[in-house]
Chains A and B, each alone.
Chain A
């Protein structure tokens, strides 16, 4: 999505320059929420203040809203169909395999030392044995990260 934003906002429309979009992108990564949405909000704010931000954000989520709503309706209609049921069993298998792959590639990128490995094991244990809410886990590990300091 980022190359698309760059092509459209920097090269075609010239609303932002290269360093601005890099700034927005790195800040978009450091704020909660979806990065592409955050970049859009930033761009909208720069061009048109508060309402610009609202307009750009509405723009970027609209296609998802429309497409997903239509898909959800269509899938509901055909769900009793026997072929659809077989298809979805196969699709679910693909989804589980995709999730496994996401975990492996995130692991490779983000687990770089034994402290992170400990956090991983601890959180996994907490999920399995204590069913702790993901919200509390993010709060707890985020605080821990501030205290630990990377690379120290």
Chain B
């Protein structure tokens, strides 16, 4: 039964998570509040793993979240749920390809959805930050990291590994 629910929840995310990248985070944050599947803190760890692994982040997040919820089969179910709506939609569009030039109206949709997605990711980031940044040193480290990420654009995995090393050295 858990698998049915897992499929349904990730199906909805697959249908409504427009914009790519970290856009699944606010949706998963919502799931963490709604079900006892994984905690908000575990969500932060999932982001770290998803960002450090090859493959699309959305898929990695779904696999990990599903795995946390109910093991290997859970990971499969969540990933299948996430891609199911887009596969169906893409196959339909591929059939009608010549008529589907109307990406103009989609641009109009995204004109308003993009600011909303940014607000949602910001909100999720603030809530997750409140769990992680618990003392002056963690807050200070975040600012240092942010500066480094902003000015020296390297692959996220570099910063995640660096975070791990610094965590061990400083015994955070």
Judge whether B93 is part of the interface by a CB distance below 8 angstroms: yes
Interface SS of A by simple majority: helix
Judge whether A34 is part of the interface by a CB distance below 8 angstroms: yes
Which residues of A sit under 8 angstroms from B100, Cβ to Cβ? 27
Decide: A142 near B87, CB < 8 A? Known: A68-B64, A75-B45.
no
Interface size class of B (residues with CB under 8 A): 35 or more
Q: Is the CB of A145 within 8 A of B113?
A: yes
Least distance between A71 CB and chain B CB atoms (Å): 5
Instruction: Mark out the residues of chain B between 106 and 146 whose CB falls within 8 Å of any chain A CB in the assembled complex.
Output: 106-125, 128-129, 132-133, 138, 141-143, 145-146
How many inter-chain residue pairs (CB < 8 Å) link A and B?
Answer: 310
The residue in chain B whose Cβ has the minimal distance to the Cβ of A31 is: B89
Least distance between B117 CB and chain A CB atoms (Å): 7
The residue in chain B whose Cβ has the minimal distance to the Cβ of A90 is: B167
Q: Is the CB of B94 within 8 A of A119?
A: no
Judge whether A77 is part of the interface by a CB distance below 8 angstroms: no
Which residues of B sit under 8 angstroms from A1, Cβ to Cβ? 56
Interface size class of A (residues with CB under 8 A): 35 or more
Q: Is the CB of B56 within 8 A of A145?
A: no
Least distance between A120 CB and chain B CB atoms (Å): 4
Which residues of B sit under 8 angstroms from A106, Cβ to Cβ? 114, 117-118, 121
Instruction: Mark out the residues of chain A between 1 and 59 whose CB falls within 8 Å of any chain B CB in the assembled complex.
Output: 1, 23, 26-38, 41-42, 45-46, 50, 53-54, 57
A→B interface (CB under 8 Å):
1, 23, 26-38, 41-42, 45-46, 50, 53-54, 57, 60-61, 63-65, 67-69, 71-73, 75, 83, 86-104, 106-107, 110-111, 116-117, 119-121, 123-124, 127-128, 133-135, 137-139, 141-142, 144-146, 148-150
27 contacts between A and B (CB under 8 A): A26-B103, A27-B97, A33-B82, A33-B83, A37-B56, A37-B83, A60-B55, A61-B83, A63-B54, A64-B53, A64-B55, A64-B63, A90-B172, A93-B141, A95-B44, A96-B142, A99-B125, A102-B22, A116-B112, A119-B116, A124-B123, A134-B26, A134-B120, A135-B16, A146-B105, A148-B112, A149-B108
